[in-house]
């Protein structure tokens, strides 16, 4: 069908709603109450239903809002669109604006009143590691010579394993787009610009940067919920997708709560 696109309904709850609210919400989106309770836990916006038209999704969202829930709608094309992120390595605070520079020397200027949302979270990075393992294997030639008595020998094999580590990041958003204006990571920053405030630890320096961002962008909403959740037990591709999805849902959530219309 030409022009068909899935439209999602998402709901955020700061705490698990009362059982009667959960039951009513489950009826609205045609889900089991237990499943609905799981979707409404955790404090992050979650996709709870999917519809073939914007009108149907908006109708469902209004019904959920009447229950006192924070509901929003979003098109699948917007939610799944890959983000193109400017990754800053250093920054310079000037009067009324901040200049960010990436590793290649490219710059981005952001006026202090232009940041709508500051998101702090954890990027999951997959790292391949090759280790040598010693395994015991049967030596068939020697075994035949002994008349069938098993003879074993040790064999060294190289085995690749993947580990996932967390990299704290912070993203800045304007009011105009769910694409982040820029991103900074704890281990990707050159902290010399902190001057006398620089600390021996990158974690302490990164927290100082985040605090400075809140200070220099006083109108921005600060949300660090993504920094409090860990998904290191999942595959790197999955957790990366989760970060992008959660960032966009949080952006849309704050746009909706602020009563601002969203446009790309």
Q: Nearest 5 degrees, angle CA 128-CA 133-CA 136? A: 150
Tell me the domain boundaries of the chain.
Answer: 7-79, 88-127+162-257, 130-160
The neighbouring-strand residues paired with 226 are 121
- The answer, yes or no, to whether residue 138 has pLDDT greater than 50, is yes
Q: At what angle do helices 19-29 and 54-66 cross, to 10 degrees?
A: 170
Q: Is 26 in contact with 11 (CB distance < 8 Å)? A: no
**How high is the pLDDT of residue 260?**
57
**How high is the pLDDT of residue 195?**
92
High-pLDDT (> 90) share of the chain, %: 60
The CATH T-level fold of domain 7-79 is Ribosomal Protein L30; Chain: A, (3.30.1390)
**Most confident region among 126-130, 155-159, 166-170, 228-232 by mean pLDDT:** 166-170
Instruction: Render pLDDT for 238-258 as a digit per residue (tens, 0 to 9).
Output: 444 588 899 999 999 999 888
* HSE-up of residue 93 (Cα within 13 Å, Cβ side): 12
Q: Average per-residue pLDDT in the chain?
A: 86
Instruction: Render pLDDT for 63-82 as a digit per residue (tens, 0 to 9).
Output: 999 999 999 999 999 888 88
Q: Which residues, 6+ apart, have CB-to-CB distance to 78 below 8 Å?
A: 178, 248, 264
Q: Nearest 5 degrees, angle CA 227-CA 181-CA 253? A: 55
Instruction: Render pLDDT for 208-235 as a digit per residue (tens, 0 to 9).
Output: 999 999 999 999 999 999 988 654 444 4
Strands 117-138 and 221-226, by their bridges, are parallel
Nearest to 20 by CA among 61, 60, 68, 56: 68
* pTM of the complete model: 0.79
Residue 98's SS3 state is strand
Q: Which H or E run includes 127?
A: strand 117-138
Residues 234, 244: Cα–Cα separation, whole Å: 15
């Amino acid at each position: 069908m030409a022009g068909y696109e899935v439209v999602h309904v998402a709901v955020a709850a700061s705490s698990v709603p009362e059982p009667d609210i959960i039951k009513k919400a489950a009826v609205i989106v045609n889900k089991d109450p237990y499943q609905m309770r799981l979707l409404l836990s955790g404090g992050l916006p979650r996709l709870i239903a999917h519809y073939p038209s914007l009108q149907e999704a908006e109708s469902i969202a209004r019904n959920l809002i009447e229950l006192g829930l924070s509901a929003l709608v979003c098109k699948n094309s917007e939610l799944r669109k890959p983000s193109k992120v400017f990754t800053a390595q250093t920054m310079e605070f000037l009067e009324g604006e901040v200049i960010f520079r990436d590793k290649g020397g490219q710059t981005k200027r952001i006026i202090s009143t232009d940041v709508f949302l500051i998101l702090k979270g954890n990027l999951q990075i997959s790292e391949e590691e090759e280790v040598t393992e010693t395994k015991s294997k049967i030596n068939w030639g020697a075994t035949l010579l002994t008349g069938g008595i098993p003879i074993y020998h040790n064999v060294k094999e190289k085995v690749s394993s993947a580990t996932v580590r967390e990299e704290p990041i912070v993203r800045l958003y304007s009011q105009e787009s769910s694409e982040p204006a820029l991103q900074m990571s704890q281990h990707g920053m050159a902290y010399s610009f902190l001057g006398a405030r620089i600390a021996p630890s990158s974690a302490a320096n990164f927290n100082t940067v985040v605090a400075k961002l809140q200070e220099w962008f006083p109108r921005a909403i600060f949300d660090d919920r993504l920094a409090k959740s860990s998904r290191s037990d999942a595959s790197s591709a999955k957790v990366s997708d989760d970060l992008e999805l959660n960032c966009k849902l949080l952006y849309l959530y704050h746009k909706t709560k602020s009563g601002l219309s969203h446009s790309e």
